[in-house]
């Protein structure tokens, strides 16, 4: 059985309630392999439309420039690494590598954009992948080489790898970067109230005509949201789930969230959502930090503390829910609070 879903947060046009008579501009596109939406409140079409269009152009540029599996600056770097060559990159790409190295170290290496070859072994680099397990010998060989983004040395614009099996894939990082870029671009164009959604990674700016933007957290096993939450100015929210990119084989679900320690998909979590407080890189963190917390399983509170994230909701493999006390105070569960909720201080 094969299934492919990309929307991590059931937004239902962001579950916007009571739009009223004030203007609400909406534009959408398909970038980063997922649906992208921008909502701008309080501005007329003449001002809102070009602002949203500028953001979508930037998203397209990021997608084309740093695509791991199509011709791009990133794929050129991956080829150079495989050939054992030093390669000169743009200042932008060099910055993404060093920032990813920092975030990877913070997440105990469970977030690692250097595992592109492992992603390829499982077939998750493709938009249409097959329900086929990789060759166990290939996984063992990959684990022996243990390629990681930490193997890269960045000297100004020159990149060298100590491990030729490193292959970069920014699929778990670039959507968050795009959120931060969108926030900057919108504010530069006089947009103070907007909601940006990139396949379930969401950032809120200001409010929706005086009311807080409300979004829904997707239930990992049922249609529709598990809960909703009102976002404050500058907050970002991200979800990693085993229902987004996965295949099923002989009754087992294999998702795209791969554990570098085992070379296999993490199977102890259905979904994990984080809410990131306002900070300069809130969007980036909403994307990058949800992955290691998901993969770490029951140890996620330790990593949440390292990332300075207080708001976390985790749905375990058996459907039990863990939620931090801080996030619980802000959630509105659909149909009432579930019985199987464990509160984490």
**Are 208 and 304 in a shared domain?**
yes
Q: Looking at the predicted structure, is the pLDDT value of residue 14 above 50? A: no
Domain endpoint, select from 161, 186, 217: 161
In-domain check, residue 166: no
pLDDT band at 345 (very low <50, low <70, confident <90, very high): very high
In-domain check, residue 167: no
- pLDDT per position as a tens digit, 46-82: 999 999 999 999 999 999 999 999 999 999 999 999 9
Cα within 13 Å of Cα(79), Cβ side: 10
**Are 102 and 221 in a shared domain?**
no
- At residue 21, the pLDDT reads 53
Range 176-201 average pLDDT? 97
- pLDDT per position as a tens digit, 248-298: 999 999 999 999 999 999 999 999 999 999 999 999 999 999 999 999 999
Cβ atoms of residues 196 and 183 within 8 Å: yes
**Are 236 and 183 in a shared domain?**
yes
**Are 152 and 266 in a shared domain?**
no
pLDDT band at 22 (very low <50, low <70, confident <90, very high): low
Those residues with Cβ within 8 angstroms of residue 330's Cβ, 6 or more apart along the chain or in another chain:
229, 230, 275, 311
H/E stretch holding 101 reads helix 91-106
Cβ atoms of residues 56 and 35 within 8 Å: no
CATH number at residue 149: 1.10.3980.10
pTM value is 0.92
Q: How many helices (H) and strands (E) does the chain have?
A: 11, 20
Query: How many independent structural domains does the chain possess?
Result: 2
**Are 83 and 132 in a shared domain?**
yes
Domain endpoint, select from 127, 161, 195: 161
Q: Looking at the predicted structure, is the pLDDT value of residue 12 above 70? A: no
Domain endpoint, select from 141, 161, 181: 161
CATH number at residue 291: 3.10.520.10
Those residues with Cβ within 8 angstroms of residue 50's Cβ, 6 or more apart along the chain or in another chain:
189
70-95 as b/e, with b when 16 or more CB fall inside 10 Å?
eebebbebbebbeeeeebebeeebbe
pLDDT band at 3 (very low <50, low <70, confident <90, very high): very low
Q: Looking at the predicted structure, is the pLDDT value of residue 305 above 50? A: yes
Burial class (CB within 10 angstroms; exposed 0-12, middle 13-18, buried 19+) of 329: exposed
**Are 91 and 239 in a shared domain?**
no
What are the DSSP calls for 256-268, one per residue? S-EETTTTEE--S
- Residue 328 dihedral angles phi and psi, to the nearest 5°: -55, -35
Cβ neighbours around 320 below 10 Å, total: 14
Query: Residue written as tokens 């203007």?
Result: 23
Beta pairing partners, 249: 252
- pLDDT per position as a tens digit, 140-177: 999 999 999 999 999 999 999 999 999 999 999 999 99
pLDDT band at 91 (very low <50, low <70, confident <90, very high): very high
Range of the structural domain that residue 255 is part of: 2-65+173-344
pLDDT band at 307 (very low <50, low <70, confident <90, very high): very high
State how far the Cα of 16 lies from the Cα of 41, in Å rounded to an integer. 12
In-domain check, residue 168: no
Range list of β-strands (E), 242-301 = 245-249, 252-255, 258-259, 264-265, 269-276
**Are 14 and 33 in a shared domain?**
yes
Q: Looking at the predicted structure, is the pLDDT value of residue 327 above 50? A: yes
- At residue 244, the pLDDT reads 86
Range 22-48 average pLDDT? 94
Residue 274's SS3 state is strand
Q: Looking at the predicted structure, is the pLDDT value of residue 10 above 50? A: no
Q: Looking at the predicted structure, is the pLDDT value of residue 204 above 70? A: yes
């Amino acid at each position: 059985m094969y299934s492919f879903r990309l929307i991590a947060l059931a937004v239902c046009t962001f579950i916007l309630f009571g739009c009223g008579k004030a203007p609400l501009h909406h534009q959408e596109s398909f970038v980063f392999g997922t649906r992208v939406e921008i909502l701008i409140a309080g501005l007329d079409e003449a001002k809102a439309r070009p602002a949203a269009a500028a953001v979508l152009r930037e998203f397209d540029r990021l997608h084309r420039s740093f695509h791991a599996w199509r011709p791009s600056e990133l794929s050129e770097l991956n080829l150079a690494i495989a050939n054992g060559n030093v390669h000169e990159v743009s200042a932008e790409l060099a910055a993404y590598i060093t920032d990813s190295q920092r975030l990877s170290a913070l997440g105990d290496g469970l977030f690692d954009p250097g595992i592109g070859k492992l992603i390829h072994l499982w077939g998750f680099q493709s938009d249409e992948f097959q329900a086929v397990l990789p060759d166990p010998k290939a996984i063992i060989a990959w684990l022996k080489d243990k390629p990681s983004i930490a193997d890269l040395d960045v000297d100004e614009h020159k990149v060298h790898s100590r491990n030729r099996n490193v292959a970069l894939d920014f699929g778990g990082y670039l959507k968050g970067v795009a959120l931060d870029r969108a926030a900057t671009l919108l504010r530069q164009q006089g947009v103070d109230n907007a909601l940006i959604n990139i396949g379930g990674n969401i950032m809120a700016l200001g409010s929706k005509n005086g009311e807080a933007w409300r979004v829904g957290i997707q239930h990992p096993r049922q249609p529709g949201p598990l809960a909703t939450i009102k976002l404050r100015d500058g907050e970002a929210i991200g979800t990693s789930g085993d229902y987004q990119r996965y295949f099923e084989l002989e009754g087992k679900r294999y998702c795209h969230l791969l554990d570098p320690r085992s070379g296999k998909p993490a199977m102890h979590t259905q979904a994990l959502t984080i809410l990131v407080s306002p900070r300069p890189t809130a969007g980036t963190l909403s994307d990058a930090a949800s992955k290691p917390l998901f993969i770490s399983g029951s140890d996620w509170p330790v990593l949440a503390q390292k990332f300075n994230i207080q708001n976390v909701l985790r749905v375990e493999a058996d459907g039990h829910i863990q939620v931090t006390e801080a996030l619980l105070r802000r959630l509105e569960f659909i149909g009432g609070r579930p019985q199987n909720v464990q509160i984490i201080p």
